[in-house]
Homo-oligomer: A and B are copies of this chain.
Amino acid sequence: MKNYCFGIDVGGTTVKMGLFKTDGQLVDKWEIPTRTEDGGKAILPDTAAYALAKLMEKDIARDDVAGIGIGVPGPISADGIVPHTANLGWGYKEVTKELSELTGLTCRGGNDANVAALGEMWKGAAAGHKSGVMVTLGTGVGGGIIIDGRIVTGTNGAGGEIGHIHVDDSIPWLCGCGNQGCLEQVASANGIVRLAKWMLESKAKETVLDPETMTAKDIWDAVKDGDNFACEVAERFGSYLGLALANIASTVDPEVFVIGGGVSKAGPVILDYIKKYYIKYTFKGCRDAEFVLATLGNDAGIFGSAKLVIEE
């Protein structure tokens, strides 16, 4: 058994890199800028160079490295190919093959939201569980489905595209995906603000919130302060997310749901609103699923990517 591996999380601004022991101990982590110019052609060479340099620095033999796992912000096939990743500048790219050639190491890839889910299942909020679903409530709504310790990638890399579950015909805006009624439109950081504005349009409400400037954080702070309107928004948010997760439960029946991303920083109150409606809508056999807040934060991606190259 080799002792080390790398977990890489490629984002639009920085590449997060982690050197791990194969038992899951994080040895070192660092970031490098994501150079998206020229079709993002420097991203993988930069990543490879900093990985190999770290081995030199730590005096670790390449033979003692199990491999490199890499998470990318977009669909990636089981054999490590991305068709197109706009925010990295990439067109068609054989990511794992290229990174493997650059480093001489085994390489496996995954979608960023999916590997974050795997990270939380391995060493984060859901450690010890075999199957779980993570929802990342950030700029968008991402997700990952883990069954028996493995990511459900899906035929088109769309496994865990939870943000595009249809929750309400009446949502008036188009989603970036081209559909109407997507969860992302009412449950992401921007989505909850949009939801609040929409609810204010239909009826004027007394609230501490300023419709012009309010953020997701403002809304949850107001919920904690007992603002009636903010609590109505939280109920509506909870009903959408609870419904989506209930329908996921009738499909894959996970042990645990992990709620992460910026919106989840509001804390346990968010779980209360989600669970209330999850329990209302879910199949009775699934009512006891656990709900937990993510614990790895921005490190979930490097943990999950590292796990991709560790066999158990």
Contacts and interface: CB of A to CB of B under 8 A. Distances in A.
Interface stretch (A18-26, A55-63, A248-256): A248-256
A233 interface: no
A179 B153 CA distance: 31
B131 A283 contact: no
Contact of A247 (B147, B156, B166): B166
B252 A75 contact: no
B283 A158 contact: yes
A170 to B, nearest CB: 11
Contact of A251 (B75, B131, B145, B243): B145
A297 to B, nearest CB: 25
A108 interface: no
B156 A286 contact: yes
Contacts of A161: 250-251, 253, 283, 285-286
Contacts of A285: 75, 156-158, 161
Q: How many A residues are at the interface, by size bracket? A: 35 or more
B156 A253 contact: yes
Given A152-B252, A248-B251, A158 B243 contact: no
By secondary structure, the A interface counts as: loop
A154 interface: yes
Given A147-B152, A152-B147, A251 B177 contact: no
B284 A155 contact: no
Interface string A155-187: 111111110111000000000011101000000
B247 A155 contact: no
29 contacts: A75-B285, A145-B251, A152-B251, A152-B253, A153-B253, A154-B286, A155-B289, A156-B253, A157-B253, A158-B283, A159-B251, A160-B251, A161-B251, A161-B285, A161-B286, A162-B250, A164-B250, A164-B283, A165-B251, A166-B243, A166-B281, A177-B283, A177-B284, A179-B280, A179-B282, A179-B283, A251-B251, A251-B252, A252-B252
